[in-house]
């Protein structure tokens, strides 16, 4: 008796570029953009460890128009990643009940987004205050 083989439906070559997979693909690629930003920060630490001349060259690169454009694109990717992450959050969690009532998914997403924005503003304010005192 021969083994049965499951039916394998033919997939188009660029299946990931069509709806509904496109938004998921963009979201996952925004994670790669965040990894690139982490590599830029790591390069800054390496330059700092190599001495003042290397770190000054790194700072000069950061002030260039190309670097500013890269950072704007990475900021947009980070914001997209954060936004989509908090939209997915309630779908991946078990149902949340507070005082006997089920908390709606949109309330959970908005609360998480506001918490992230508040933490970002607090960190920015801290850096501005600490930077002004240096």
Where exactly are the structural domains of the chain?
17-133
pLDDT tens-digit series, residues 82-131? 898 898 888 888 888 889 999 898 899 999 999 999 999 999 999 888 87
Q: Does residue 134 register a pLDDT over 70?
A: no
What pTM, to 2 d.p., does this model score? 0.73
Q: Find out whether 122 and 130 touch, Cβ atoms under 8 Å.
A: no
Give the domain 17-133 fold. 3 helical TM bundles of succinate and fumarate reductases (1.20.1300)
- CB neighbours of residue 47 within 10 Å: 18
DSSP-based three-state secondary structure for 95: coil
DSSP-based three-state secondary structure for 105: helix
Q: How many residues does the chain have?
A: 134
As a whole-number percent, the residues of the chain with pLDDT over 90 amount to 49
């Amino acid at each position: 008796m021969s083994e049965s083989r499951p039916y394998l439906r033919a997939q188009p070559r660029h299946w990931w570029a069509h709806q509904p997979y496109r938004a998921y693909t963009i979201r996952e690629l925004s994670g790669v953009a965040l990894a690139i930003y982490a590599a830029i920060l790591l390069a800054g630490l390496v330059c700092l460890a190599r001495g003042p001349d290397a770190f000054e060259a790194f700072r000069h690169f950061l002030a260039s128009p190309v670097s500013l454009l890269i950072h704007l694109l990475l900021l947009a990717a980070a914001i997209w990643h954060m936004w989509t992450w908090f939209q997915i959050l309630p779908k991946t969690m078990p149902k949340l009940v507070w005082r006997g009532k089920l908390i709606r998914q949109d309330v959970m997403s908005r609360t998480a987004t506001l918490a992230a924005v508040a933490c970002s503003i607090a960190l920015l304010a801290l850096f501005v205050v600490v930077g002004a005192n240096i």
